[in-house]
Amino acid sequence: MNSISLDAVAALTGMGRSTLWRKAADGVLAKGDKDARGRATLALSDVLGLICDSTGVPFSDDDVAVLLQADAGDAEAQADIGALLYVHAGGGVERPRSTGCGRRPSRAAPRPCSGWARPMRQVAPSATSNWR
C-alpha cells in the first residue's frame, strides 16, 4: 500500500491536519504506518481523490510516483510537483487582469508607512519619575 504523509495531504488539499486525522480516526481515511522520517501517513488511494479535487490536477501514474518521491524529500521531485501544480493553475498563461467589481484601478500614489514606523517623540523625564 502506498501512503503519503499527513502534512503533504494537508498542504495539497488545504484541509487541516486535525480534520484529516479525525477522518482517519473515524475510518473514512485509512491510516498508514509511520514513514522513514517518523511522520504519520494516510493511504494514498483514499486521499488521491481529495488531492485531485483540491488541486484540479488529474494525477497520472507517473505523477503519483513523482508525488511520492516529493513527499519522501526529493528536492527535484518537489520542484516537479510545484511546476505541475503551477501549470494546471494557469501559470505562465497571459490572462486579462481583472480589476474586480467593474471599478477602475486606483491611481492614487502609494502612501508612506505610518503608525509604528513613526519616530517616537522625545519626552523629558519629570521631576517625580525614577529616571536618572
Domain hosting residue 7, numbered range? 3-88
CB 53 within 8 A of CB 71: no
- Please provide the average confidence, as pLDDT, over all residues in the chain: 80
Nearest to 59 by CA among 6, 92, 12: 12
**Secondary structure element (H or E) that encloses residue 82, with its range:** helix 75-88
Q: For residue 105, give every residue at least 6 positions away whose Cβ sits within 8 Å of its Cβ, in sequence order, or none.
A: 99
Query: Whole-model pTM?
Result: 0.66
Residue 73 lies in a domain: yes
Q: For residue 63, give every residue at least 6 positions away whose Cβ sits within 8 Å of its Cβ, in sequence order, or none.
A: 57, 81, 84
Residue 121 lies in a domain: no
Q: Is the dihedral of CA 48, 54, 60, 64 positive or negative?
A: negative
Pairwise CA distance, residues 4 & 30, whole Å? 11
Residue 106 lies in a domain: no
Residue 122 lies in a domain: no
- Quote the number of domains for the chain: 1
CATH of the domain at 64: 1.10.1660
pLDDT in tens, 66-122: 999 999 999 999 999 999 999 888 775 555 554 445 555 555 555 555 444 445 555
Residue 100 lies in a domain: no
Residue 111 lies in a domain: no
Residue 78 lies in a domain: yes
